């Protein structure tokens, strides 16, 4: 790729459905558009490796997955400059990004930024979750999509959320035997979801969801109402203990895939200074945005799951709307040849139908969000729940003091894997709302960069300065 320029009309961060759609719109309106994506190929999580996966049998990953191929093709044809393997590690209010690819970092100045950084799996801090053999459902699905790899040995899936069921079905279709699916969704979720049945019933999720559950239940022991889940083993996973109803049970296992929903990946947006609020149903931070996805910082918009979990089709519609907003700001005369805003808003509303039902039905229980005792909260610095509670007792009123007391959240993951747990644990202990407790104060680099490439940036600056002085 060329990427010679360091100024663009639009930078889009992330090539999942939202980012691909946004870039297709802005590049289609002849705005110079740079689409930066961390993965080797476009697609984000949902359409991961859609152009390169070795799994050509379409029924295996399902039609919702293959729908991504058309979107990738559309964006590639739009004229957007797409850079794969690029990590955006800084963004400020002047819309200067710092990004690293091919071993070099550079500053890029743009008129509009569209963040489409997607979602992360919610942390699932149970006893033993750091043992080798315990992984997330998302990680297993990544291996499946990218490389056609499936786990060997006795596999157990545990948790809640649509992805868990989808993964189970995909693995079954690939010929994998699943010992059990341990459903941790509390039965009270069904009652809470009840008021949302009417909209769910007319959404695309109903038939798909029912079919998926039936497909899985035919081949896998599904255990409902699971609590007190523990991964056990010396040096590696050996067994899984849990409670189901009144019974204590234990299953021998080699691989445990955990999942309890996805949450917005907010690190870059927070580091850029965008305001966030606590979402009381989705139990996570979401950015404060207007209807077109614009944040409070001039020229920076957010689309897709990073703006609040809505799924792939909502993300695509949000991406197109954010693209339109960028065109409206930079070259409004070109709006005429672009898709109609109202149609997109209708598509977005349609794709959000049923979401409230899913949020309630798959809501993760308290016990799997609020670890106790020796259970690890922060994996990077190996901080336990008990240590965190002790720090709260010593006056750590929020995540930032916890960080200073314990180094909790100070490792290379920058709090991605512990942030929500820390906020909820402190909130629960102090008896105040998560919004009052707040989140880690995040700063760039939102992902680690090498000293060498940062040093090389200074070199480039000096060379530029030397030329300018002459």
Partner 1 sequence: MRRTADVIVIGGGIHGCSTALHLAMRGLRPLVVEKDYAGRHASGVNAGGVRQLARHLAEVPLSVASMELWERIDDLLGDDCAFESHGQVLVAENEAELDQFRARVTDLRLRGYAHEELIDRAELKRLVPAVSDACPGGIVSRRDGAADPFRTTQAFRRKAVALGATVLEGVSITGLQRRAGIWHLSSSAGPFEAPVVVNAAGAWADRIAASLGEPVPLEVMALMLMITNRVPRFIAPVVILRGRKLSFKQLANGTVLIGGGHQGRSDRDANITEIDWHKLAESARTVWELFPAMHRAFIVRAWAGIEARMPDDIPVIGPSATAEGVYHQFGFCGHGFQLGPGLGALMAELIATGRTNLPIDPFSIARFAPVRAPRPPA
| Interaction of residue 90 with partner 1, rule CB under 8 A | yes
CA distances from 89 to 80, 285, 377, 454 (A): 21, 20, 24, 11
Residue placing its CB nearer to partner 1 in the complex, 238 or 410: 410
Residue placing its CB nearer to partner 1 in the complex, 355 or 403: 403
HSE-CB at 393 with a 13 A cutoff on CA atoms is 6
Residue placing its CB nearer to partner 1 in the complex, 62 or 273: 273
| Interaction of residue 414 with partner 1, rule CB under 8 A | yes
With CB under 8 A as the contact rule, the residue among 197, 433, 452, 463 that binds partner 1 is 452
Q: What values do phi and psi take at 428, rounded to 5? A: -65, -40
Residue placing its CB nearer to partner 1 in the complex, 102 or 188: 102
Note whether 389 and 405 are within 8 A (CB). Answer: no
What is the nearest approach in angstroms of partner 1 to the Cβ of residue 353? Answer: 39
d(CA 214, CA 231): 27
What is the nearest approach in angstroms of partner 1 to the Cβ of residue 386? Answer: 19
| Interaction of residue 401 with partner 1, rule CB under 8 A | yes
What is the nearest approach in angstroms of partner 1 to the Cβ of residue 421? Answer: 19
CA distances from 109 to 11, 140, 350, 453 (A): 9, 37, 36, 18
Note whether 73 and 51 are within 8 A (CB). Answer: no
Residue placing its CB nearer to partner 1 in the complex, 66 or 107: 107
Q: Would the CA dihedral through 305, 308, 313, 316 be positive or negative?
A: negative
d(CA 293, CA 174): 38
Sheet holding 255-260, edge to edge: 134-136, 255-260, 155-160, 178-183, 221-223
| Interaction of residue 435 with partner 1, rule CB under 8 A | no
SS3 163: helix
* Residues 269-288: x where in contact with partner 1 by CB under 8 A, - otherwise, as a string: ----x---------------
* Residues 44-83: x where in contact with partner 1 by CB under 8 A, - otherwise, as a string: ----------------------------------------
Stretch that binds partner 1, among 25-33, 124-132, 317-325, 392-400 (CB under 8 A): 392-400
List, in order, residues 6 or more apart from 105 with CB less than 8 Å away. Answer: 89, 98, 99, 449, 453, 454, 456, 457
| Interaction of residue 382 with partner 1, rule CB under 8 A | no
What is the nearest approach in angstroms of partner 1 to the Cβ of residue 250? Answer: 37
| Interaction of residue 399 with partner 1, rule CB under 8 A | no
Site size for partner 1 (CB under 8 A):
31
| Interaction of residue 467 with partner 1, rule CB under 8 A | no
Q: What values do phi and psi take at 26, rounded to 5? A: -70, -40
| Interaction of residue 461 with partner 1, rule CB under 8 A | yes
SS3 379: coil
Residue placing its CB nearer to partner 1 in the complex, 394 or 467: 394
Which residues contribute to the site for partner 1 (CB under 8 A)?
90, 92-93, 98, 107, 273, 394-395, 397, 401, 404-405, 407, 410-412, 414, 443-445, 448-452, 454-455, 457-459, 461
């Amino acid at each position: 790729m060329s990427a010679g320029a360091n100024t663009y009309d639009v930078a889009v961060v992330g090539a999942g459905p939202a980012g691909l759609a946004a870039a297709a719109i802005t590049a289609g309106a002849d705005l110079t558009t740079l689409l930066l994506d961390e993965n080797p190929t476009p697609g984000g999580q949902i359409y991961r490796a859609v152009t390169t996966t070795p799994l050509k049998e379409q029924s295996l990953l399902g039609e919702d997955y293959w729908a991504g191929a058309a979107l990738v093709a559309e964006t590639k044809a739009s004229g957007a400059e797409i850079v794969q393997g690029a990590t955006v590690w800084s963004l400020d209010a002047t819309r200067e990004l710092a990004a690293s690819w091919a071993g070099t970092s550079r500053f890029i100045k743009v008129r509009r930024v569209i963040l489409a950084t997607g979602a992360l799996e919610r942390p699932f801090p149970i006893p033993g979750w750091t043992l080798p053999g315990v992984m997330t459902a998302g990680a297993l699905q990544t291996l499946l999509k990218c490389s056609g790899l499936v786990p060997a040995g006795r596999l157990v899936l545990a948790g809640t959320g649509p992805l868990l069921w989808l993964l189970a079905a995909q693995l079954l279709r690939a010929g994998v035997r699943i010992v059990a699916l341990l459903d941790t969704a509390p039965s009270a979720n069904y009652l809470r979801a009840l008021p949302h049945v009417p909209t769910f019933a007319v959404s695309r999720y109903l038939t798909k969801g029912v079919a998926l559950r039936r497909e899985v239940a035919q081949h896998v022991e599904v255990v409902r109402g699971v609590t007190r889940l523990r991964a056990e083993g010396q040096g590696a996973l050996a067994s899984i203990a849990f409670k189901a109803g009144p019974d204590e049970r234990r299953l021998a296992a080699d691989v445990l895939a955990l999942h309890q929903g996805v949450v917005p990946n907010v690190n870059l947006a927070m580091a850029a200074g965008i305001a966030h609020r606590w979402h009381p149903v989705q139990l996570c931070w979401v950015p404060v945005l207007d209807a077109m996805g614009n944040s409070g910082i001039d020229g920076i918009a957010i689309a897709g799951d990073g703006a609040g979990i809505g799924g792939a089709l909502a993300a695509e519609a949000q991406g197109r709307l954010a693209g339109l907003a960028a065109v409206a700001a930079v070259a409004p005369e070109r709006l005429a040849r672009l898709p109609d805003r109202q149609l997109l808003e209708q598509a977005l509303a349609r794709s959000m139908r049923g979401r409230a039902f899913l949020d309630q039905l798959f809501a993760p229980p308290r016990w799997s969000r609020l670890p106790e005792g020796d259970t690890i909260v922060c994996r990077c610095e190996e901080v336990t729940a008990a240590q965190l509670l002790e720090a709260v007792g010593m006056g750590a009123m929020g995540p930032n003091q916890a960080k200073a007391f314990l180094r909790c959240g100070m490792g290379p993951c920058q709090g991605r894997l512990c942030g929500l747990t820390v906020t909820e644990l402190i909130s629960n202990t102090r008896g105040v709302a998560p919004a009052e407790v707040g989140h880690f104060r995040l700063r760039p680099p939102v992902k680690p960069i090498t000293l060498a490439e940062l040093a090389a940036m200074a070199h480039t600056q000096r060379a530029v300065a030397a030329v300018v002085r002459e």
